[in-house]
Structures are given as structure tokens and as C-alpha cells.
Structure 1
Amino acid sequence: MIVDSKTSDQFLLADAPPSYDALESLSGSNTSYRRDEKSPSPLTPSPSQPSFQSPSSGSTSTPLKVKRSSTKGKGPATWFNFGASRTTKEVQATVLGLVRDLVKQQYSTPGASGILDSCSEACDAYDISFSSILQEKSIENHTPIHWAIVKRPSEPPNPDDHDLVTALLSRSAPLKPSTIADIRLACLLTSDQALFQRLRLSPVFSPVSGTDEMLLGASILPDTIEVEEVEGDAGAFVANFEILAFQKRMRVSNRIRQEFIARGRMWCLSFSITPSSQWVVRLSILEHSPPTWIDSRLIIEEPSPRPAPVTPMPSSLIDAPIPEQPSSNKKRSKPKPAISLRLKSGNFQLTPLGSHSQNRGEIEVALEDSMMGLSLQYDGSSYLDAEGTLRARLEARLAKPEAECIIC
């Protein structure tokens, strides 16, 4: 039996993912490569596509899952077993080229989602892991996700839209440690604090410890961090933290970490309990951050009291309660002084931990260094709100410390 070579080539081309130009020209037609009729159209987003929630959406994020097609094992790869290795390489090269073009042109969704779905279906047909392809450092020694973050607009038209970064991430789970490191580097290079905090909401990118998951529950949003960079040449910034169940997590986990990006550096503010049972706060810069001087203060004030509940209007003056006469013996409680802890780099610049530098990589201060700092350990501390949330503010400037810390 003689197999027509033209027919074979047609089958091979029909099964490989379409080129980028072909998808552009066929976006309005019904023509596509061979796939299961039940699969979604490659140029329209699937209703079951996993979402990557943003903080502004008000809902909890769910683990990212890789979209799987029902065409796995049904593709024509079984028809041409003798050329499977060559065909697999061709499909993989085509997919890599399409992904590279998407990142290069910063293609917006839903168009990008359709193209990525087509690539995923083609990979499934040839038993190729699309997730692994997206996590390969195939573009200038970095992953496609890294470049999508670097090329991401500083102010997207609509922060709630699922952009290319979201489309790539939702098809890349589970993320490898090397991929997470590449994503963190991209956020640092672009000083994209908003995206970095958005990624922290995903357990896939920033998994919650087992103890925190048990204490906080799956339905509670994680801690929040807001950073404001102060105008001027002093490199000043202010970071506001809301840490849930502070005392309980400290007693059970012995450590709470807060990571954020400010002034071109990735920072870590952590609270921990030493082996000698001393409560301390630490400030450090993380990998790929340039060394810097820093002079800062961590300020913790008493939370504002909740407004008193509104008393309903009585139906008649007879039902109205008699107002209490103010007692001359009662004194208004004065607000307690704020907990203020100075965190400074001293005689050496702060350097990333593990950089094999002789300079200091971490600043550590005991809570008891502040007059009211020890009260954070005790039940009923007035510096925690009714739910046990700690609100703290870090005021910093990247300058060599002086005799007095002055934060602009």
C-alpha cells in the first residue's frame, strides 16, 4: 500500500496548532484544526476557564488549575507513530512561537485566551505538558510569564480585566519554584507592588502555611499591605499593614512574614519569637534587591474606637430613658502613646539575605525596646482591635541614619 505524501502532510498540518498569522486572519471564521466537538472554540474563552481573582473583586482567590482538553489521546498522533518524535517537536516549536508572539505583542484577552486554548489542546493531543512549556525559560533566558509582567502596562485600562499575565498564570499551575522566582524578579524589576500583592492572594504563588490556614480559615482574606512612595529625592515610602489574628498566629506559628515592593527593592517585615521567648521585629531586603541605607520607624497606634450603636427613636417621651448625669469622678481615658520602634541600617548598608556579603542583611529590634511594645504579647492589648487585627505603619527613607530619625 502506497501512502500519498500529500495526504500525510495535510494530516500533520491539520493537527499542529495554527500559526499566529493564521489565527489573526481566521478569527472571524469557523475554521480550526481537528479537535473534539465538545471542546470550546479556540478563539473564545471557556466558561470553565479558571479565574485569577484580583483584590478589588472582593472574593477569595482559588487555586489556579491548568485547563485540560477532552481531545487527549484522540489526536492523529496515533496514526503516524513512526513520525511521532518529529511531529511532537514541530508542535512544541509552533506552540513556543505562538506564545512568544503573544508576549511580544502583549495580545489582550479574549483573543489571547483563545490562542492559548488552541495551543493547550494541541499539546494534549501529543501528550505535551503545556504548563511545562509556559514555564520554560525559552525567551531570552526567562519564562513567557516573566516577559508578560515586564511588558504589562503600568496602569491597565481596567484592573479587573484578566490580562495576558492572568491568562498565562491560569494555564501554568502548578508553578515550579524557579518560575515563582522568575515572576518575583519581574515584579521587582518593574516595581509593580500592586501586581505583587495581587499574586500574593493566590495560594499557587504564595502558599499559606498549614497553621495559618487552620487559624484563618479558607474564606478569610489574607493580610493586606499598602505602599505609598513619598515624592522627593530622599527615597521615602510609607507601608501600612493589617495583620489578622496577630497574637494567635504569633503564639502558634512563632512568625509572621509580610513581603512588599518599594523603591525598587523587595522587602520583608516579619514578627517572630526567639528561642528565648523574646518577641522581635525584623526588616530585610530580599533577593535581587540592591544594597541600601535605611532609616525607618515602625509605628503601632491604638485603633480608633468603634462608633456607638444608634439608639432607636422612642415612640413617646414617656418611653425615653432618663439621661445619666455626668459624674465628676469619671475621667476620660487618655490615649496611650504609640509603639515606636526604630529600624536602621547602622554603619553598614542593608544587603539581601544570603548574598555572602559581610554587610548586615537584616535589622532586628525587640518589641520591648518601646515602652508599650511588650503589651502586644498580652491578652486584651489595646493596640489590637476587637478581632485581634494589628495595624502598623512603616515610615522609611533610604538614607544613612542620622542622630534623629526624620521621615519626610
Structure 2
Amino acid sequence: MIIEKPLPIDPTPSEAPPAYDSITLGSQRSPLLDLKSPTPSAPSTSTSPSSPPSTSSKYPTSSASSSTAKGKGKVQWFNFPSKTSKDVKATTLGLIRDLVREDFQTTAAFGILQSCAEACKTNGVSLASILQEMSIEGHTPLYWAIVKRRPDDRQDDSTQIPDLLTSLLSFSTPLSSAAVADIRHACLITSDQPLFQRLRQSPDFNSGSATDEMLIGVTLPPDDVEVIDLPDDEGSFAVNFGVVKFQKRMMISKSISIEFIARGRMWQLHFFVEPENSRAQGRRPGSWCVSLSLMEHSPPTWIDSQLLIAEPRILKDGKSSKRKPTITMRLSSTSPLTPRSTYRGAGITEVVVNFEDIPMATSLQYSESSYIASDEKLRGRLEARLAKQEHDCIIC
């Protein structure tokens, strides 16, 4: 039998995301913040080897990465009953879920996201919003990309292929506060301190104030943070840090926060100036202080620690001059330390030390203090153990 009527028109929309077994990447790629390996402490943006760094953001926006993937063969499109925003969003969510579930660590992953970005843009859908939805078991795709991400020492840097997290982040900006919190939680779950510090260098994560940007510049050089877990049964660790332009930031911004992950917890070492309207007992308004506290999702714990600030070694006539005594500030809890987000009246939320109570610590406020290096950076070390306070040394 011969059917004279023409076949129905293929209802497949030309803007739908493609199947990822048919993607072939084009020759151009947008710059990415490569999270596979540690970045240097200098304020620079890590990019893929073939791409120049972006001057406006650590990650490119999706509009900058939405060029159509070019392939040698015909691209296979997903079939839709109609090309609506709802259909495009549903298919995009399914693709992203598959990428995260299979831990898709190839160049095709970025190509799939490029095609999704173009399809979303054509149909008035925000890919960045989709990537930040709690759409996969109560979390964002970014959370699962971190949880399933291989540690740095197991990454193959020779492939020059951005990992899945890098690709997802390149299409996710700007990040909402809820998405940032979900990413921070994932870093804590995996105890990935190196990744956490690299993420904090990006504009969406950086907690620096607008005043800090005026003092230091739009691209904030990161404060140095190095965490060392010590081999014992008391949860001991040490943190070496360096704070950029310490005195100027304290006098103008009046607040400097150093965040890090150690012993399955997220911590904040906070230098601050006591507010004028403060009613805190034993702390005079305007005095310089330092506190240690736990951040969200961290289990409560006892803490016995000390903050050590040594005078920088200065060479005169090729010889090292005698240094002043090390400033020592004891930060120990009298009851279990608890995050503010889960505090219910039991325990304490922070341990605070006033510089005025510590010999030599007040000298950190003075210009040309011998404890501040010539590069205006304050360098110190926090030594801690998860135990009740004892009278002997913290780490011997």
C-alpha cells in the first residue's frame, strides 16, 4: 500500500540539549578556574592551558560559554512533544543528574553543558539557576560533584581536562548564598581543605568586605592558610597563616576572618575590633581581639589551643638579630565549643582573647610593629587539640 500523505514534521526542537554520546567539542573553550591542583598564593586566576584568564570573574558566565559545539557528524537531539521552557529544563536537569551520577570527567561534559546553556538561553531558562537548585537528593549538583570528586593526589593533571566541578562552576555564576552554603558543606563532608581554600579565592566565596577591596584591590590576594594534621589520638592540628595588610584591615575594616577545615570541622579564626556599642564583659569597646569558633555543620568539641606570633627574622649585616619573645594567646574552651547555627544554650559559641590581656600583643596595633613583616603581612601559627584545657603546652 502506498501512502501519499507526507510524513509528519519532526517535532524535535533544535534548541534542546544533545545526547552526550554525540557531542564533539569545538576548537574554542572558555576559561575556567581549574580546581584539579593547588593554586599559588599569589593573587592569580588558574585557567586551562589554552585559554587566557578572565579579568572580570574567576569563572566565565554561561553567556560567554554558549557557543554551539561543532561536530563532524550530525548532532542527535532529544525528542520533545513540544519545545517549551518546562521541557528544556526537565531534560537539562536529567542530563546534569546523569553527569554527576556517572562522574563524567571528560571533555564531553563541558560540551554537554555548553549545549544546555545555549538551549536554556534560547528558551528563557537560567542554567545557573538549575545548577543551584537542590534537585538531587536535597542538594545541588555542585555538592555532589565535590562529594564524588577525586582528591588532588589522584587527579591526572597531564590530561589538561577540567574536572566536572570546574565545568559546572563555569556555568553557575553568580552563586546564591544557599548554593555557597551547600558547596561549603560538601567541602566539610569530604574534609577537602585544599579545595576549600581555592574556592574561597573566587569572588562568589570571598568573604572580604568592600572596604578590603578598596584597600587591597578588586582581586584580593588570598590570606595564606596551611593546615597540618598531627599524628596523635587527641585530634591535634596546626594552622600556619599569613594575613595580608593586617594593620590597615584591622583599623579600617575592623574584621578579618580566616576559615579552614581541620579534623572534620570547619573553623573560623577571627581578628576583630570590639564594636563601640558592645556590652561584652571584659572587652573594652575599640580593643583588638581574636576569637576561635566552629562554623555550620561542625560537631561540637572541646578545644585547647594557642595562637603564636613570632617576630620575623631580620638580617643585619648578614647576621640574624636576636628576636623578641613570641606572642602567645591561649584559646581554650571551658565547655564544648558549638556552632552558632546549632547553639541551644549548652556550651559556648566562641573562645575570645583580648589583645590587652596579653603581654606584647598590643604592639600589633602600633605602626612599624616588629611583629609585622616588611610586606605588611602578619604571620602566625595556631596549635590546637580537641581536648579539655591542660596547663602544659598544647603541642610539644
TM over 0.5: yes
Residue 33 of structure 1 is matched in structure 2 by none
Distance 1:100 1:334 in 2: 61
Unmatched segments (≥5 aa) in structure 1: 29-42, 72-82, 310-330
Question: For residue 377 of structure 1, what is the amino acid of its counterpart?
Answer: Q
Do the aligned residues in 2 keep the contact of 1:50 with 1:67 (CA within 8 Å)? no
- 1:116 is matched with which residue: 90, 97, 113? 113
SS at match of 2:62: coil
Could you tell me whether the CA contact under 8 Å between 1:15 and 1:122 is conserved in 2?
yes
**Residue in structure 2 matched with residue 253 of structure 1 by the alignment:** 253
Residue 321 (structure 1) aligns with: none
State the number of aligned residues. 351
Does 168-177 or 333-342 show the bigger shift? 333-342
Partners of 1:242 and 1:389 within 8 A in 2: yes
Deviation at 1:100, TM superposition (A): 0.8
Q: Distance in 1 between matches of 2:233 and 2:101?
A: 34
TM-score by length of 2: 0.82
Matched residue, 1:374: 362
Give the counterpart of 1:6 among 5, 8, 11. Answer: 8
Match of 2:295 in 1: 286
Helix, strand or coil for the counterpart of 1:239?
Answer: strand
Whether contact under 8 Å (2:315, 2:321) holds in the other structure is no
Contact 1:92 1:123 in 2 (8 A): yes
The answer for the alignment partner of 1:352 in structure 2 is 339
Q: Is the contact between residue 236 and residue 397 of structure 1 (CA under 8 Å) also seen in structure 2?
A: yes
Q: Deviations over 1:146-205 (max 9, x none)?
A: 000000012342468631111111100110111001001000111110010000110122
**Alignment correspondent of 2:143:** 146
- SS across alignment from 1:56: coil
The answer on whether the counterparts of 1:302 and 1:336 sit within 8 Å (CA) in structure 2 is yes
Larger Rg: 1
Provide the rounded CA distance (Å) in 1 between the counterparts of 2:23 and 2:67: 22
Contact 2:15-2:118 within 8 A present in 1 as well? no
Structure 2 residue matching 1:194: 3-state secondary structure = helix
Q: Tell me if the contact between 1:44 and 1:113 (Cα under 8 Å) persists in the aligned partners.
A: no
The letter for the 1-side match of 2:293 is S
Report how far residue 106 of structure 1 moved.
Answer: 1.2
Q: Compared with structure 1, are the counterparts of its residues 354 and 220 closer, same or farther at alpha carbon in structure 2 (3 Å cutoff)?
A: closer
- Give SS of 2:39's match: helix
* Aligned counterparts of 1:5 and 1:296: Cα–Cα separation in 2: 77
CA distance in 1, matches of 2:316, 2:144: 48
Percent identical: 48
Q: Deviations over 1:302-337 (max 9, x none)?
A: 11225868xxxxxxxxxxxxxxxxxxxxx9953210
Residue 336 of structure 1 aligns with which residue?
A: 324
Secondary structure of residue in 2 paired with 1:228: strand
1:192 aligns with 2:192: yes
**CA 1:333/1:136 → structure 2, altered by over 3 Å: closer, same or farther?**
closer
- Asked if residue 271 in structure 1 is aligned to residue 271 in structure 2, the reply is yes
Structure 1 Cα separation of the partners of residues 43 and 291 of structure 2: 31
Shift of 1:232: 1.8
Give a deviation string over 1:54-86, Cα, whole Å, max 9, x none. 652555233433222378xxxxxxxxxxx86x6
Counterpart of 1:106 (choices 90, 103, 107) is: 103
1:204-223 superposed matches below 5 A: 204-219=204-219, 221-223=221-223
- Deviation of 1:379 after TM superposition, in Å, equals 1.1
1:66 aligns to 2:61 (yes or no): yes
- Alignment check: 8 A CA contact 1:257 1:268 kept: yes
- Compared with structure 1, are the counterparts of its residues 391 and 67 closer, same or farther at alpha carbon in structure 2 (3 Å cutoff)? same
- TM-score with structure 1 setting the length: 0.80
SS at match of 2:150: coil
What one-letter code is carried by the residue in structure 2 that aligns with 1:301? Answer: A
Q: 1:248 to 1:184 in 2, by over 3 A?
A: same
- 1:174 and 1:391 mapped to 2: Cα distance? 32
Structure 2 Cα separation of the partners of residues 187 and 45 of structure 1: 33
Q: Which runs of 5+ in 2 are unaligned?
A: 46-56, 69-80, 277-284
Quote the RMSD (CA, aligned, Å).
2.4
Q: What is the rounded CA distance, in whole Å, between the counterparts of 2:379 and 2:118 in structure 1?
A: 47
1:407 aligns with 2:388: no
Name the structure 1 match of 2:381.
393
Give the residue type in structure 1 aligned to 2:384: A
Cα deviation for residue 139 of structure 1 reads: 0.5
Contact map agreement 1:103 1:147 (CA 8 A) in 2? yes
